[in-house]
Amino acid sequence: MDIKWLQDFVCLGRTLNFSRAAEERNITQPAFSRRIRSLENWLGVPLIKRSTYPVQLSEAGVQFLPVAQETIANLSDTRQSIRGTEYGRAAFQRVAILHTISVNYLTRRIKELEDDLPNLRVRVFSDYLPTCCQLFSDGICDFLLCYRHNNGAPFFDEDQVARKDLGFEKLVPVAEAKAATEGGWDISRKDTKNIPYLSYDPSSYLGTIVDQIIGSRHPPLVLRYMDAHAEALKRRAIAGSGVAWLSESVITDELASGKLVHVGGPEWQTTLTLSLFCSLDRLDETGQLFWEAL
């Protein structure tokens, strides 16, 4: 029996969709289906009614789902406890987080909290949002820190965990001031053409959000560069290479100094929510203090 089979089944029990569950688990649908079959073979009974659409849990599946959830949670909690004993001191608080939030927010906040939380030890797992959500859902991480957007679909059941919104910020199109002035880079103007565009990887969360901002409109952008990380796009923008959508918190100093400027009106902007998730009943004392401090 592989714990991944349990994690797969819990994901399927929530989504009731093989395609979406496979996507969240970051494997192909055929491989995901084989792992569900392997779990059913191990139990000796079918867990899924495959003849219905959407799929439904069988009677055995309904009975087994809370057992699988509790088993995953118990294994994760026991591992955390053993790790703490092995280290002889407070266990790590494990945070799944988007790379740009780690660089521009969490490192600074941890530094500010170190004096008030002397036992705080943090291990950061920085990755794409689907992977971060998977790490959190599987119990590998105690916390998830990410952006939320009203058009972005969640990758887990938010009703099962605690959420704290830490703040809001705008995602805005910007460019290097001199290049924007000389090139006439203003995506709100209809007479502007061929503005070089620095894009997020379309598989990234921010890439999805920017695609939704652009929608069916046709701004005068010509794709010149693509990267999954906001920091890379920021550096290219500062170098005068084109227009990029960046969170205002990432470019506070550059906007204040005039090095970067806005190149589109409010209709090309959107608001992101910085949200922290956790399962409160599974946190140790330091974890509770960390949750409250953030």
50-59, 241-250, 283-292: least confident range: 50-59
Q: Is the pLDDT of residue 255 over 60?
A: yes
**84 and 90 Cβ atoms separated by less than 8 Å:** yes
Percentage of the chain lying above the pLDDT 70 cut: 94
Task: Classify domain 169-272 at the CATH topology level.
Answer: D-Maltodextrin-Binding Protein; domain 2 (3.40.190)
Which amino acid type is present at position 91? A
Could you name the CATH architecture of 3-71? Orthogonal Bundle (1.10)
Q: How many CA atoms lie within 13 A of 47 on its CB side?
A: 27
Q: Is the pLDDT of residue 80 over 80?
A: no
Average pLDDT of span 221-231? 92
Average pLDDT, the chain: 88
Question: What span, in angstroms and rounded, lies between the C-alpha atoms of 254 and 267?
Answer: 22
Q: What token pair was written down for 192?
A: 């502007």
**261 and 175 Cβ atoms separated by less than 8 Å:** yes
User: 81-166+273-293 falls under which CATH superfamily?
Assistant: Periplasmic binding protein-like II (3.40.190.10)
**DSSP 8-state symbol, 266:** G
Question: What span, in angstroms and rounded, lies between the C-alpha atoms of 74 and 261?
Answer: 51
Question: What span, in angstroms and rounded, lies between the C-alpha atoms of 75 and 139?
Answer: 9
Asked if the domains 3-71 and 169-272 are classified in one and the same CATH topology, the answer is no
Q: Is the pLDDT of residue 178 over 90?
A: yes
Question: What span, in angstroms and rounded, lies between the C-alpha atoms of 251 and 256?
Answer: 9
Percentage of the chain lying above the pLDDT 90 cut: 45
**Domain limits, the chain:** 3-71, 81-166+273-293, 169-272
Q: What are phi and psi of 181, to 5 degrees?
A: -70, -50
Average pLDDT of span 270-287? 89
Q: What token pair was written down for 58?
A: 């069988």
Using only C-alpha atoms, the chain has a radius of gyration, in whole angstroms, of 22
Residue 166: how many other CB atoms lie within 10 Å: 13
| Coil vs helix vs strand at 26 | coil
Q: What's the confidence (pLDDT) of residue 224?
A: 94
Nearest to 154 by CA among 179, 173, 134, 175: 134
Nearest to 58 by CA among 41, 68, 46: 46
pLDDT band with cut points at 50, 70 and 90 for residue 244:
very high
**13 and 57 Cβ atoms separated by less than 8 Å:** yes
Which position has the higher pLDDT, 129 or 182?
Answer: 182
Residue 184: how many other CB atoms lie within 10 Å: 13
**260 and 133 Cβ atoms separated by less than 8 Å:** no
Q: What token pair was written down for 6?
A: 């349990």
pLDDT band with cut points at 50, 70 and 90 for residue 237:
very high
Distance (Å) of CA 274 to CA 34, 181, 294: 37, 32, 11
Backbone angle region of 248, left / alpha / beta, with phi > 0 → left and psi within -120 to 50 → alpha: alpha
Select the highest-mean-pLDDT range: 73-77, 92-96, 139-143, 177-181.
Answer: 177-181
Length reported for the chain: 294
Question: What span, in angstroms and rounded, lies between the C-alpha atoms of 121 and 117?
Answer: 9
Select the highest-mean-pLDDT range: 176-180, 212-216, 217-221.
Answer: 176-180
